[in-house]
Amino acid sequence: MFPRFRWSLLSLGLALLVPTLAVAAPSKPASKASVPVSTHSYWDQARTSKTEGEVTVNGRRIAYTAIAGTLILHNHLGQSTGSMFYVAYLKRGARASRRPVTFIFNGGPGSSSVWLHMGAFGPMRVVTADHSHTPAAPYKLVKNQYSLLNASDLVFVDAMGTGFSRIIGKGKPKQFYSIDGDAQAFAQFVTSFLSKYGRWNSPKYLFGESYGTTRSAVLANVLERQDSVDLNGVILLSAILNFDTGSDGAHSNPGVNLPYFLALPTYAATAWYHKVLPQQPAKLQPFLRKVEAFASGPYAQALAAGAALSPSQEKTIAEQLHAYTGISTAYWIRARLRVSGSQFEHQLLLSKGDTTGRLDSRFVGPTFDPLAEGSEYDPQSTAISPAYTAAFNNYVRKDLKFGMGHSYRIMSMQVNRHWKFVHTPLGAGRSSWRGTPNVLPDLAAAMTADPDLKVMLNGGYFDLATPFYAAIYQMRQLPMARRLQKNIEYAFYPSGHMVYVHVPSLKQLHARVTAFIQSTDNLH
């Protein structure tokens, strides 16, 4: 969907590119014309459109009211600053205090919530090919038997500058396009929604994907410690909380070896899937356990040794890397044992003239330039983006009766370009970390302030954007009491970044998230 830059790309399903090194450097102010700010009076007041529908999940019919609308955000003087778009699905006839509500969003930063909305949990789902390019329109929209409406009311929220969300009135881009500004906007949205729809006493959940997991960590802390909102659970899909673990910009961050050994199990899973290993294991799971042990042991130690590693030792490690990835020993040696995600995607199937997907490495597509160092596009992103774009643009206007005559921003590169990654965790005073974004302290603070808070981590084995082993590593590094680790639940799937693209994985994801909500909603 977007060209690959040097930096790590992260969104929901169509991850944007997020810097991993240069975030500390102040960026030049953007011209007003280049920043998405609305001057259209249409967005200056809250609007809603209500429709009704029904969906059958697990054999049970659920009647719901769909509310597509906007909530107006205000500054401390009560002046309007932003209009945030949402689509809420509320089970008809349910008592608010007996019905959970889940706030769902994708990432980017610069992505709308279309992907989780139309691919995973909304009552309607767009049908796409499992691991190949989806043919052009007309696309098929079906009632979603895996909608999460069986367990919770759903509120899909578009970040500022995406979807129909617009900066208005006294609002400025710098108020919203940053880690902290974004979290504050979402916090105000959540509390405003709870008030507008009388949901303060409902069990409450956050569900974020990709950069949405970064947002979830910060937002959970803000809601808990600033707004006194206890959450029942935080659900993370394709997580990235410490951007030092991302493999795309690793070469620009020398001396930090985390990305290389944390990505290795995903490289191995991808090679296993495409059957290019020198000795093909019969099953994935036992194979991955061996790779993980090697990655965090001999491989991590070899990387840490740097120039002190002897040529013979380097060759031994490279030979094992070849056995686990199918990439030649000579290539690993030329790369000094450090192969980025982009290089791996380009190299793995190069002899066949193909590039693997980044968001989902099961996907393959023709290689643009065989002589390039790394991949130049993502076959998974280009395979499904048109279907989601067309399906939602049609659905929101014809079925939800909202937005006719107005542009819906599925993804916004403008938001991404103007994003500020400097972050000051709530309660940290004036100090701020000006290096690579790291919100592990935020999630740890939220879990410490509310020791009953449960967290569910989900990921795909074939996700090269946010590798599953990196997500596990990050959870184990949360700076909090060891006993709180028992509040974290893990689930992984034979799919990629958007695990729900693979329907059997969507079925598993739905079942596991349903079980998580039902075990934590304090209603049973």
Question: What are the contacts of 136-144 at 24+ separation with CB within 8 A?
Answer: 136/386, 137/386, 137/390, 139/387, 139/390, 139/391, 141/391, 141/394, 141/395, 143/55, 143/56, 144/55, 144/57
Q: Taking 80 as the threshold, does the pLDDT of residue 433 lie above it? A: no
Tokens 């991949």 belong to: 375
pLDDT reported for residue 423: 87
Q: Taking 80 as the threshold, does the pLDDT of residue 391 lie above it? A: yes
Instruction: Please state, rounded to an integer, the average pLDDT across all residues of the chain.
Output: 90
Contact 367, 354 (CB under 8 A): yes
Which whole number is the average pLDDT over 113-130?
Answer: 96
Alpha carbon distance 107, 120 (integer Å): 15
- The pLDDT tens digits for 235-287 are 999 999 999 998 887 788 888 999 999 999 999 999 999 999 999 999 999 99
pLDDT reported for residue 499: 97
- The pLDDT tens digits for 83-109 are 999 999 999 999 999 999 999 999 989
pLDDT reported for residue 246: 86
pLDDT reported for residue 365: 92
Give the pTM: 0.92
Alpha carbon distance 298, 508 (integer Å): 34
More confident residue, 336 or 2: 336
Instruction: Find the range with the poorest average confidence among 92-101, 124-133, 304-313, 498-507.
Output: 124-133
Q: How confident is the model at residue 20 (pLDDT cuts 50, 70, 90)?
A: very low
CA distances from residue 505 to 21, 400, 460, 497 in whole angstroms, order as listed? 34, 28, 9, 11
Q: State the CATH architecture for 8-244+385-520.
A: 3-Layer(aba) Sandwich (3.40)
Q: Taking 90 as the threshold, does the pLDDT of residue 19 lie above it? A: no
Q: Taking 50 as the threshold, does the pLDDT of residue 18 lie above it? A: no
pLDDT reported for residue 38: 53
Q: How confident is the model at residue 429 (pLDDT cuts 50, 70, 90)?
A: low
Instruction: Find the range with the poorest average confidence among 40-54, 75-89, 396-410, 420-434.
Output: 420-434
Domain ranges of the chain: 8-244+385-520, 254-380
Which whole number is the average pLDDT over 166-195?
Answer: 96
Which whole number is the average pLDDT over 344-349?
Answer: 96
Tokens 């690579």 belong to: 436
More confident residue, 8 or 121: 121
The phi and psi torsions of 431 (rounded to 5 degrees) equal -70, 145
Alpha carbon distance 5, 19 (integer Å): 9
What is Dmax (Cα atoms) for the chain?
Answer: 70
